[in-house]
Chain A
Amino acid sequence: MPVGKRRSSLLRSPQFSSLVILIVLLAVFAIADANFLSPLNISNMMAFLPELGIIALGMTLLLTAGEFDLSVGAVFGLAPVVVMLLVQNGEASIGVALLAGLLLCVAIGAINGLIVTKIGISSFLVTLSMLLVVRGAALYITQGFPLKSWDQPGFFVTLLAGSFNVGSFRFYTSLWWFIGLSLLAIYVLRYAKLGNWISAIGSNRNAAVARGVPADAVKVWLFILTSVLAGLAGMISAFRISAASPVAGTGYELEVIAMVVVGGTALTGGRGTILGTIVGALMLRAIRNGIVLIGVPGLAYNIFVGVIILAMLILHALLQKNAARG
């Protein structure tokens, strides 16, 4: 492909248009309120970003394969709650409890994946039911009360929620997790054999199966991955704020899916972009943070967020149409 052609296709790609919008949004917020780019505010945004961002990485791969997961917000809540209960009841050390929590996430993801692929029920219905089961379980085992989280310093706390200063910025280790996992996800989706399979499955499952691609196994593993990432994000969050609440992560499933599709990944499968998802995660974070700073009344937040998401989706749809014609 000639360089000029490749460049123009990059310029027209969904992740690029998302990036442009992100920069515009950042500029608008920065001009409207000088505090937006202050070290404190940037540190704040960067503390939240990885927690939803990590889930969004798994969701991007899952969406690219043509499925999605509505139970991630509930898993985000349940995993740390289970970890803390195990520790508080003296049944396990913190390390073992974390492992048990992650294994629980593996089980939840596997159940989602097996029901979707082997019984053939849509992932919407399966994971919606799972959302209720998982959230219900979190509420039941805690009797609805938040638990005080592990707050003694140690290896795992540093690993998941340690913080460090860069100049006057304060970052959490979760940012490293997000960066590392993002690089891995980019590699898998764009450069690995597995990524080729994931895109093919979402684009035309029958075609992929006819070429010997194990479509169901790939999907089950992606459900597991997404669940595990949601659980990991929940643990990171619980450690950071030293509390595990059974209602933590409520509504995150939609926020995460919004990040992914705003970044340009197709809800219908086949076209996924991790770079787009990173841009999408930054964008939603910046919007939620920026509209507070510029003084939009709290109850009106979601109007803004919703309108911006819609605008982004319309933009992607128009670009897609254009590309198909051109």
Chain B
Amino acid sequence: MEVLRLQNLQKSFGSVRALKNASFALNEGEVVALLGDNGAGKSTLIKAISGVFPIDRGDIYVRGEKVSIRSTRDAMDLGIETIHQDTSLAPDLSIARNLFLGREPVKLKWLGVFAPLDLAKLRGAASALLKRVGISKKLDADALVSTLSGGERQSIAISRAMQFAAKVIILDEPTNNLGVEETHGVLRFVKEVRDAGHSVLLITHNIHHVFQVADRIIVMRRGEIVAEQTVADTDLLTVESIITGADMSALLKETRAK
């Protein structure tokens, strides 16, 4: 079942054409890796999907329905949760407060932004969530995020995306700046997220990670999608050469033939 489809997305920054006609689809319960060199347009693509900025042209479909995403809130309401490259957490807030940032449980709702936080519910839900994702033993819901390691922060950010039953979870370079151990933790977590029924779009430039967790691979170069393959049908060297653009024509033919 198709959850997300992008059709001919275009986005320019002044004279830089960051996205030229990008199209692809994401199915339920699969991990798709979006690969490409620095500057290929990966972050631009996912920022367009997550409502950070509007696209110039193109259509986005969620579960077959055409949608317009004008703000990050629009994307979240459609079930698209994004964990951006430049950490998505506020270090001075507790884990619990971060998990519910922007969607705080409150009492006396009619008070609007002045409504008091339902602290008991906040803490309870946060602990339950940490337990569900298997990181409650180490982490206290009241601990400040600034006291956590990079891997723990990524896990918190991913858990937050899961808690709102997001259909699509987008991870931009989640293993950047992480140690070996932490990287494995995050990758394991990605698999668990998929097994829980979420679709994952994983942006990375580490091909080894891709072969550990992804079902399908999409490669971008200079704002375009130049290849799309299932992991089972390809190998590390082939993908590497697509990314760098070596022997492009032959590979493109191979891709198109499929």
- The answer to whether A199 touches B72 (Cβ under 8 A) is no
Q: Indicate with 1 or 0, residue by residue over A203-214, a CB within 8 angstroms of chain B CB atoms.
A: 110111111110
How many residues of A sit at the interface, in one of the four size bands? 20 to 34
The minimal Cβ–Cβ distance linking B171 to chain A, given in whole angstroms, is: 13
- The answer to whether A213 touches B101 (Cβ under 8 A) is yes
B86 located at the interface, meaning its Cβ lies under 8 Å from any Cβ of chain A in the complex = yes
- The answer to whether A1 touches B89 (Cβ under 8 A) is no
- The answer to whether B147 touches A324 (Cβ under 8 A) is yes
The minimal Cβ–Cβ distance linking A14 to chain B, given in whole angstroms, is: 12
Once bound together, how far apart are the Cα atoms of A159 and B22, in whole Å?
65
The minimal Cβ–Cβ distance linking A145 to chain B, given in whole angstroms, is: 42
Given A206-B86, A210-B82, A210-B84, are A199 and B102 also a contact pair (CB < 8 Å)? no
Q: Indicate with 1 or 0, residue by residue over B147-159, a CB within 8 angstroms of chain A CB atoms.
A: 1000000000000
- B-side contacts of A192, CB under 8 Å: 111, 113-117
Shortest Cβ distance from A270 into B: residue = B92
The minimal Cβ–Cβ distance linking B47 to chain A, given in whole angstroms, is: 10
B238 located at the interface, meaning its Cβ lies under 8 Å from any Cβ of chain A in the complex = no
- The answer to whether B88 touches A199 (Cβ under 8 A) is no
- A-side contacts of B91, CB under 8 Å: 203-204, 270
Once bound together, how far apart are the Cα atoms of A204 and B84, in whole Å?
12
Given A210-B72, A210-B88, A270-B91, are A193 and B101 also a contact pair (CB < 8 Å)? no
B71 interface neighbour in A187, A202, A212, Cβ under 8 Å: A212
- The answer to whether A200 touches B117 (Cβ under 8 A) is no
- The answer to whether A196 touches B52 (Cβ under 8 A) is no
Residues of chain A in range 191-235 having any CB-CB distance to chain B below 8 Å: 191-194, 196-197, 199-200, 202-204, 206-213
A271 located at the interface, meaning its Cβ lies under 8 Å from any Cβ of chain B in the complex = yes
A188 located at the interface, meaning its Cβ lies under 8 Å from any Cβ of chain B in the complex = yes
- B-side contacts of A271, CB under 8 Å: 92
- The answer to whether B117 touches A208 (Cβ under 8 A) is no
Most-contacted residue by chain B among A1, A212, A271 (CB, 10 A): A212
- The answer to whether A207 touches B103 (Cβ under 8 A) is no
Shortest Cβ distance from B82 into A: residue = A210
A211 interface neighbour in B101, B115, B119, Cβ under 8 Å: B101
Q: Indicate with 1 or 0, residue by residue over B84-125, a CB within 8 angstroms of chain A CB atoms.
A: 101111111100011001111010000101111101000000
- A-side contacts of B89, CB under 8 Å: 204, 207
- The answer to whether A203 touches B116 (Cβ under 8 A) is no
- The answer to whether B84 touches A199 (Cβ under 8 A) is no
- The answer to whether B88 touches A207 (Cβ under 8 A) is yes
Once bound together, how far apart are the Cα atoms of A237 and B97, in whole Å?
39
Given A193-B113, A194-B113, are A200 and B93 also a contact pair (CB < 8 Å)? yes
The minimal Cβ–Cβ distance linking A171 to chain B, given in whole angstroms, is: 29
B194 located at the interface, meaning its Cβ lies under 8 Å from any Cβ of chain A in the complex = no
Q: Indicate with 1 or 0, residue by residue over B56-98, a CB within 8 angstroms of chain A CB atoms.
A: 0000000000000001110010000010101111111100011
Shortest Cβ distance from A272 into B: residue = B92
- The answer to whether B115 touches A193 (Cβ under 8 A) is yes
Once bound together, how far apart are the Cα atoms of A206 and B87, in whole Å?
9
B103 interface neighbour in A188, A211, A266, A270, Cβ under 8 Å: A211
- The answer to whether B86 touches A213 (Cβ under 8 A) is no
The minimal Cβ–Cβ distance linking A187 to chain B, given in whole angstroms, is: 8
- B-side contacts of A208, CB under 8 Å: 90, 101-102
B240 located at the interface, meaning its Cβ lies under 8 Å from any Cβ of chain A in the complex = no
B206 located at the interface, meaning its Cβ lies under 8 Å from any Cβ of chain A in the complex = no
- B-side contacts of A213, CB under 8 Å: 101-102
Once bound together, how far apart are the Cα atoms of A202 and B90, in whole Å?
8
- The answer to whether A203 touches B90 (Cβ under 8 A) is yes
- B-side contacts of A191, CB under 8 Å: 116-117, 119
- The answer to whether A212 touches B93 (Cβ under 8 A) is no
- The answer to whether B90 touches A212 (Cβ under 8 A) is no
Once bound together, how far apart are the Cα atoms of A187 and B111, in whole Å?
13
- The answer to whether A196 touches B117 (Cβ under 8 A) is yes
- The answer to whether A203 touches B92 (Cβ under 8 A) is yes
- The answer to whether A196 touches B73 (Cβ under 8 A) is no
The minimal Cβ–Cβ distance linking B28 to chain A, given in whole angstroms, is: 24
- The answer to whether A196 touches B97 (Cβ under 8 A) is yes
The minimal Cβ–Cβ distance linking B94 to chain A, given in whole angstroms, is: 10
- The answer to whether B72 touches A211 (Cβ under 8 A) is yes
- The answer to whether A206 touches B84 (Cβ under 8 A) is yes
Given A209-B72, A212-B76, are A200 and B86 also a contact pair (CB < 8 Å)? no
Since A194-B113, A212-B72 are in contact, a sample of 9 more A-B pairs with Cβ atoms closer than 8 Å, ordered by chain A residue number, is: A191-B117, A192-B111, A203-B90, A203-B91, A203-B92, A207-B89, A208-B90, A210-B88, A212-B76
Interchain Cβ contacts under 8 Å between A and B, 28 examples? A191-B117, A192-B111, A192-B113, A193-B104, A193-B115, A193-B117, A196-B97, A196-B101, A196-B104, A196-B117, A199-B92, A199-B93, A200-B90, A200-B93, A200-B97, A200-B98, A204-B87, A204-B89, A206-B88, A207-B88, A207-B101, A208-B102, A210-B84, A211-B76, A211-B88, A212-B73, A270-B90, A270-B91
Contacts from A to B (Cβ < 8 Å)? 1, 187-188, 191-194, 196-197, 199-200, 202-204, 206-213, 266, 270-271, 324
The 7 closest A-B pairs by CB, nearest first: A211-B102, A270-B92, A203-B90, A212-B73, A203-B92, A194-B113, A200-B90
